[in-house]
A and B are shown apart, each in its own frame.
Chain A
Amino acid sequence: MVDLEKLLNKALEKISAATDVTQVEDIRIAYLGRKGSVTLAFKDLLILEAEEKKAKGQELNEVKKKIEASLETKTRQLLEKERSDLETREWIDVTSPGAKHLSGHAHLVTKTTREMIDIFSRLGFEVVDGPEIETDWYNFEALNMPKGHPVRDTQATFFVDENLVLRTQTSPVQIRVMQNQKPPIRVIVPGKTYRRDYDVTHTPMFHQLEGLVVDKGVTLADLKGTMEVFVKLFFGEDRKIRLRPHHFAFTEPSIELDISCGICAGNGCRACKYTGWLEIAGAGMVHPNVLRNGGIDPEEYQGFAFGFGIERPAMLRSNIDDLRLFFDNDLRFLEQF
């Protein structure tokens, strides 16, 4: 039988000398583990007589408890000590840059389109699509612009041949939708459009978002309300809208939509040419001829249509001064959005 007092003192001595929790754990294993001195000492008791076994047993239990208590105290002390200088020991420079996560960037046109789609989706609009190379009939004729119509000249058109053009607007999809779907119709058409212009504010390809609503009793007042909801959600609650009468061949009455300038709050600045207003969309009540061309009876149904540029609102919001940047595909531009 070991000398319990010696064992205890030795253990306490070791515990006291320990400098970190791993050492303490090693000590615990050495004494109280499966093959530890105290555990083995308990096994040694088996060979003793009952009375001695009991006395020694009690003694050994005392020793075990003392060691346990000492271990626990020591552990606590060490942890306290460790926590107390955590700040200095494990200090890092929080101003140093973070580890890189490489993220991609959706194109600004895509982001803007998606935001517009979300807004119109809330109003029950479905997204539809159509060909970019269109027939003369869908792009012009069906939209009330017969051959020789002066409006055709204002839309510098790319021609493929006598019959095919690159669509100058997303509006031909209006006709395609009306031909394929019975009212009620409530659709938007985001997509590429083409015109033969190339300068700071014009690119030969750009994007539009067209809207069409056809039903019984759809009014100009409904169009105005729809435009207001869009402007408030896209540009912000504080923006005002203004409608101006205008002329488009495929709507009657036709309007243009202005929003108050966000840069000068409507007081007049260079961006709004000192008018306080920025033009952002054309719209109107669908012309009866256009409804007819879509196979819809204008006596029974009526509707409104609108068209936004996608790049222009994005340019206004993000203060971009050159449209050509959108299709230059320089990542130093693309990564900013």
Chain B
Amino acid sequence: MRIPINWLKYYIKTSKSDTEIADILTLSGTEVEKIEAHGAKWENVVVGEVLETEKHPNADRLKLVTVNIGNKTQKVVCGATNVEVGQKIAFAKEGARLGDFELKRVNIRGVESSGMCCSEVELGLSAEAKGIMVLDSSVKVGIPLEEALSVGESVIEAEITPNRGDELSMTGIAREVSAATGEEFNLPEISISEIDLKSDSNVTVEILDNDLCSQYLARVLEIDEIGESPEWIKKHLEAAGVKTINLVVDVTNFVMLELGQPLHAFDLDLIEDKKIVVRRANKDEKIETLDGEKRKLDETMLVIADNKKAIAIAGVMGGKNSEISIGTKKIVLESATFDKVQVRKTSDKVALRTEAVVRFEKGLPLNLAQIAIDRAAMLLQQIGNARVYKGTVSAGSNKELEKEIELRISDIEKKLGVTISAEDAGKYLEKLGFEVKIYEDFTNVLVPWFRPDVNIPEDLLEEIIRIYGLNNITSSLPSKELPSPNLNKSLKVEYLIRDILLGAGFSEVINYSFYSLEDAKKVGFADKSLIKIANPINSDMEIMRPSMLPSILASIFKNERNYNYIKIYELGKTYLPGNEMPIEDKHLTLAISGINDEKVIYSDGKVFYLLKGTLELIFAEIGIKNFSLKQTKIDQYHPGRTAEVKVGDKNIGTIGEIHPDLQAAYGLKRPVAVLDLFFDELESLANLVPVYKQIPKMPIAHRDLSFIIDEKIYYEDVLEKLMNVAKELNKIELLDVYSGLEESGKISKTVRLYFQPETKTFSEEEINALLGNVMQVLKKEFKVVVRV
């Protein structure tokens, strides 16, 4: 909200500076976003008088203007078409600062020019201007511009929290400042002298839908002439960001900003049968609002109507058909209490968020309506010589329930952790308008009618502590016993895996949890088995992802242009419909695109094997030992290069190159290998505490062996048979594979066999004997040709 400081000072006698007021508000809960200090942004800008204009000798569109700036005259080049002799203008002298720019002496087409005739754009007063700014002819030549402009008022812009509707008013803000500083706060005094004619013989009011309108007040006034508002009202309204229109409308706005109650004024002569009805709109009823828009209404909306037609959308905006005009003689003032939810919903539907809506949607106290309508009548009487008819026409109830809260004094220390005496706490509350009775160990607090947000003792504690000052609290730390500690294996496994991947050269990506329906379909999900966001940002962010694949492939695509070699991972969730709650599964998904100079012994499926190496690394580090890959076929993956990752019978993920079709669908240049693991399975299988195995005392011996074998025989099957040959055969390492043999369907493999003796070093003969056994098994089981 915009708070013009001079206006604020009507209600609080304060010695504080603008910045101090802003700090006081901020630290008591009304956050000041900025202080707009009018005038301060101009230096060396003064009022000038145009004495003479002549054509620029070298440019048709430019003029030479002689300006009197008080103590001297100055000749400058000016491009504006509206400059005329006798005008008072804003003149920027050499060295003037206009925003970030400093005015210097320049030469324009051969003529020296020192200074500038300014437009409102250059002065930062407006976003556009047709020419230079022309000032009122009465202003004195030579004085600083900010002095000459009546808008020279500093404004505080503050964020009002949704619970504090009372602060959407100058008096509400003044009350806050006063509570914090202890300075005197005054509400405007209201006195009206009414004439003998009665309001209620000139207009009637009926509420048909009292669930949406609890109170409707109307007053009738007569006015001879509706002119412009006086300067002080205009100045304050403009500073507050409200357009000035005419005296009557301006006064309703002035009172709204002063007290927080939106008001509306109708031309009584335009109200059919002088009858005001508050009712739900009819289906397809239409109204042209004051902003000139024709709006369609529906039965959920509330309107103010006369006997024939809607004349306003309740709490949102008035109608053109009953608008106050220059010729209006009789005015009906409206001050009502509408249902907050209804006003907000209607405002959303008609896409119109007026100052009135902002206040109604917070919920207004019933007591305020009468005060505000009287205040407006009083101002119209004082300023516009309006004659105020006797009495207020009223419908609905205006009885505010009194709220009393009991606050235990011990709770102040118990809940806030600070020692504040009952007397001090009471004083803070009283300054905010609460009535406090202190008893031995509790206080009885009567909540003022303008604070509907205060309902429970905790609300009072907040009032007390914010006036005491949060920053005056002495800090402490929770000192009671700690909850029993939790091992949190999940976090441990996560950290470990992340660290392994960091070392293995994988960078982490984080994708949005949603993508397009098209993405979901690309990885085989049908429309109905998905979680759809009802109101997505756009259709590219519509489906809660059922699979990590589109996410990780999008990240590969994103980087393929800049990187020939990509290793990335994402630790995130997939989302699928469940019974009561959706099923959220945590996945660890890795992808590799391209090969760097890493040593991969295979000529085919390099990215697959590289990623399998990462899988082996992760499992080794988190202590998962007995895992295997089982070749499988999945639609999105390469039919010959894909496997389930199994531990025992349990499938805990997938590894494979993506299918060339999917690769093409994502526009990827290179094959991509993806490893997708269920994180929760990893967590439960992980064994984070390795058991020590004795380091062998005897030196280990090794021999290399090459053999040619049918390429479809799984290496793992060979390995299993060989490892059973002898217990001394400790480890077998695959050193090389070669598939370019003459005989098709065959492959050559070289393995290194490690023999670990237990008690004494092996002799050459012993090793040869073991090697012989290995070769025999190879020949017998797999019909291989062995070359040593």
Contacts and interface: CB of A to CB of B under 8 A. Distances in A.
Interface string B412-424: 0011111000000
Given A105-B507, A106-B498, A253 B465 contact: yes
A164 B544 CA distance: 13
Interface string A144-160: 00001011011000111
A253 B458 contact: yes
Interface in B513-562: 513-514, 531-537, 541, 544, 554-555, 558-559, 562
Given A126-B483, A127-B488, A332-B562, A255 B495 contact: no
A151 B508 contact: no
Given A105-B502, A253-B458, A273 B513 contact: no
Interface in A178-232: 181, 184-186, 192, 194, 196, 198, 203-205, 213, 215-222, 224-226, 228-229
A76 interface: no
Nearest to A205: B512
A218 B416 CA distance: 8
Contacts of B461: 252-253, 285
Given A105-B507, A127-B488, A252-B462, A161 B483 contact: no
B584 A132 contact: yes
B34 interface: yes
A181 B584 CA distance: 22
A158 B31 CA distance: 28
A60 interface: no
A164 B582 contact: yes
Given A104-B506, A132-B573, A221-B476, A247 B164 contact: yes
A288 interface: yes
A254 B536 CA distance: 31
A150 B459 contact: no
A221 B475 contact: yes
Of A105, A127, A186, most B-chain CB atoms within 10 Å: A105
Contacts of B495: 114
Interface in B470-496: 470-471, 473-483, 485-486, 488, 490-491, 495
A243 B513 CA distance: 34
Interface string A261-275: 000000000000110
Contacts of A126: 483, 485-486, 488
A102 interface: yes
A192 B573 CA distance: 10
A127 B465 contact: no
A154 B162 contact: yes
A219 B465 CA distance: 12
B581 interface: yes
B674 interface: no
Contacts of A148: 341
Contact of B475 (A103, A129, A225): A225
Nearest to B463: A253
Contact of A215 (B29, B478, B509): B478
Nearest to B532: A160
Contacts, number: 229
Contacts of B137: none
B482 A124 contact: yes
- In this complex, which of B475, B512, B558, B567 has the most chain A Cβ atoms within 10 angstroms of its Cβ? B475
B18 to A, nearest CB: 13
Contacts of A326: 510
A327 interface: yes
Contacts of A252: 456, 458-459, 461-462
Contacts of A203: 512
Nearest to A216: B480
A328 B503 contact: no
B219 interface: no
A246 B533 contact: no
Interface residues of A, number: 81
A284 B163 CA distance: 15
Given A160-B533, A185-B483, A216-B480, A245 B462 contact: yes
B584 A245 contact: no
A106 to B, nearest CB: 5
B466 interface: yes
A244 B470 contact: yes
A331 B510 contact: no
A91 B582 CA distance: 66
Nearest to A331: B559
Contacts of B163: 247
Given A135-B581, A256-B31, A222 B555 contact: no
A154 B361 CA distance: 13
Given A159-B535, A252-B462, A151 B162 contact: yes
Nearest to B165: A150
B511 interface: yes
A133 B574 CA distance: 11
Contacts of B510: 107, 109-110, 326-327, 329
B459 to A, nearest CB: 6
B33 interface: yes
Contacts of B26: 244
A131 B507 contact: no
A90 interface: no
B628 interface: no
A223 to B, nearest CB: 8
Contact of B462 (A184, A229, A253, A335): A253
A180 to B, nearest CB: 12
Interface in A297-321: 302
B161 interface: yes
A219 B476 CA distance: 9
Interface of A: 102-107, 109-110, 114, 117, 123-124, 126-127, 129, 131-133, 135, 148, 150-151, 153-154, 158-161, 164, 166, 181, 184-186, 192, 194, 196, 198, 203-205, 213, 215-222, 224-226, 228-229, 242-247, 252-256, 273-274, 285, 287-288, 302, 326-332, 334-335
Q: Give 4 nearest A-B pairs by CB, closest first.
A: A221-B417, A219-B417, A245-B29, A253-B462
15 contacts: A104-B504, A104-B505, A107-B507, A124-B483, A126-B488, A129-B490, A160-B533, A184-B482, A205-B514, A217-B480, A220-B417, A244-B470, A253-B458, A329-B510, A331-B507
Given A104-B567, A287-B458, A332-B562, 19 more contacts: A104-B503, A106-B508, A124-B482, A131-B584, A133-B531, A133-B582, A150-B162, A160-B533, A160-B534, A160-B582, A166-B533, A184-B481, A203-B512, A222-B476, A225-B475, A243-B471, A285-B415, A285-B461, A330-B559
